[in-house]
Structure 1
Amino acid sequence: MPGGFQVPDQDGAGTVEAVGEGVDPGRVGQRVWLWFAARERPWGTAAEYTVVPARQAVPLPDGASFDLGASIGIPAMTAWHCLFADGPVDGPVLVSGGAGAVGNAAIRLAKAAGLTVVSTVSSDEKAAAARDAGADAVVDYRAGSVDDTARAVRAAAPDGVSRVVEVAPASNAELNLQVGAPHLVVAAYADDGEPVPVPGRRSMLGNVAWKFVLVYTIGDRALDAAVAGVSEAVAAGTLVVPPLHRFSLDDVAAAHDAVQQGAVGKVVIDV
């Protein structure tokens, strides 16, 4: 909290130890995954205990590990919202950065919905992660020009992609226009630091919708829908534990440094 005490981190998993007034006491002992633990409150998940509103402690099926529970939260909710907030997707999906936590979840969620998925990556290691998540085609955008990347994406999705889950909206604006089908939706959940060059006329001709997503502010109805969608995916086995980088509670600073340095997979803190 600004100027005050703050335990960091939003996501986590564990067992309910106690409940407050008005909450079903039968929830004590329940296995749960958490979201937004540190949102507008000082008690994040980098601690032995945290306190959250009951709706933010979501039942975790017995077959799902705490590693998985701690790995979903914001990344999986963001991926679900980028994909399905407007309803079912009716064509191929392009996932930019398919090795990241959001991108990996987006690939798995889209494949579970029966969609063709193309992913762009920047290294062989990241390509392997995207393929492992189920991407039908993986394109290394460093291998050529934007036009080359567009041709490779079009080879996998000849009629164009219907939706883009975008991590770098400024860098990829031209690519998205080249590979988009009519009525393309670009859902960007990150900012790569530059103004996004959105050509009005070309976007109008294709009825392209550019959306910018911050899961913290999408509203309660959208959050509830994302939680429900992620919970369904967990129960179905769609989401699995990504590559993990493990740190002890005493090494919280190092864990945050790993995130800032672009660790491939998910950084978790063992308590």
Structure 2
Amino acid sequence: MNKNTSSEKSGKPSDIKLCMLASGSKGNSIYISDGQTSVLIDAGLSGVEIERRMKANNLVPNNLDAIIVSHEHSDHISGVGVLSRRFAIPVYISSKTQKAASSFLGRIDEFKIFECGTGFNINGINFHPFSLSHDARDTAGFTVTKNKTKIGIATDLGIVTTMVKEHLKMCSILILEANHDPYMLANGPYPWPLKQRIKSRSGHLSNQDSKVLLQEIVHDNLEHVILSHLSETNNTPEKALNAVGCALSCCKARIDVARQDKCGAIIHSS
């Protein structure tokens, strides 16, 4: 059942809008809506904090139709169980991630199981999960499409495969990881094993990695790039924007950095 009320509707009913509720190692969550159906991709803050951030942008938690889980790390699932139980929200999750996360999530009344490589539809919004190289059981990136709008989401990945690039082609909006500056990581306070994990093929993309990816998939109709999952220790918004932004010299797309400490503005696809 669709639970949306007119309080969240703005613009044309078919328009896609999104809001980066949080992004970083302490919690991640993305709100996406077409004005009729609303979902969260990940809920990695407490349920109370996600509700607070949604309400700060006049978004109604009780209107959520689904929570979609990318993988089982705590910074992506901390609030999933609480929100699902409080508002009777079904949880879309892969079978491997469900098994890995089951003890943390607690009781969930309705799971919807997806598999990477097979798309699914929620009330007219199409979601296509694809595999990412990360140290979790079955990490998924997503494309989200409705009419002419396509959103690509690729965070928490150590390498960019040909498959990842294929899925992210011709997106209107891209949410890309730019986790660390290599120099800051190498000379920072993290212990050596953690630095190696971050740099590994199952770790996180650097600013330079994100720039190379964007250079290969940029196109004239790209509207907006959002850099995400920045390390608060091994990166700065300025370094990420300077490194990745030069990949947009041939188009007019806007580029922003998603924050850990507060939610971003609502973005509408044109």
TM-score where L is the length of structure 1? 0.34
Which structure features the higher share of strand residues? Answer: 2
Which structure features the higher share of helix residues? Answer: 1
**Which structure is higher in RCO with an 8 Å CA cutoff and minimum separation 6?**
2
TM-score where L is the length of structure 2? 0.34
Give 1 or 2 for the bigger CA radius of gyration. Answer: 1
